[in-house]
Amino acid sequence: MKKFIEEFRAFALRGNVMDMAVGVIIGGAFSGIVTSLTDNFINPVLNMCTGHEMYTLQDMAGFVSSFLSSVVNFVIMAFILFCLMKVVNKAAGLGKKKEEAPLAAPAVKMCPFCKSEIPLEATRCRFCTSQMPEEE
């Protein structure tokens, strides 16, 4: 049972599954904006153009406030998902920065005469056979 839970956790916290879940939730929240835009702006304009129904200024203010409410709901939902994903990524270890290994000391040096790379311990250059000067 413990192995099953570990496998499920690894599956659920994979990037593709989480991205798809966020996409579905954001898509649902965005459909609220589209529905509100249609109900509160497009339909009233079409009704007024066809003479089917006339709206007062108070009705129009209600339409605008309803649309703004759906936009604010979308922004809040997106922010909550963003915070949730930060927590999930941190729990899964995806937010950790990899520690860089310290740079190793160079194993080669440059020959001052022919500018070829030679081992640090070399006393002569293998390319130009020049004697290496003593380093202090």
Residues 6+ apart with CB under 8 A from 39: 66
Is pLDDT above 90 for 74? yes
Task: State the pLDDT at residue 51.
Answer: 85
Report the C-alpha gap between 7 and 30 in whole angstroms.
Answer: 32
Task: State the pLDDT at residue 97.
Answer: 58
Is pLDDT above 80 for 93? no
Helix (H), strand (E) at residue 73: helix 57-92
Range of lowest pLDDT (66-75, 94-103, 126-135): 94-103
Report the C-alpha gap between 107 and 13 in whole angstroms.
Answer: 43
- pLDDT tens digits, residue range 19-52? 888 899 999 999 999 999 999 989 988 988 998 8
Q: With cut-offs at 50, 70 and 90, classify the pLDDT of residue 106.
A: confident
Task: State the pLDDT at residue 76.
Answer: 96
Question: 3-state DSSP: the chain helix, strand, coil percent, rounded to 5?
Answer: 60, 5, 35
Is pLDDT above 90 for 101? no
Report which of 83, 81, 40, 45 is spatially closest to residue 63, judged by C-alpha positions.
40
Task: State the pLDDT at residue 17.
Answer: 77
Q: With cut-offs at 50, 70 and 90, classify the pLDDT of residue 8.
A: confident
Is pLDDT above 90 for 70? yes
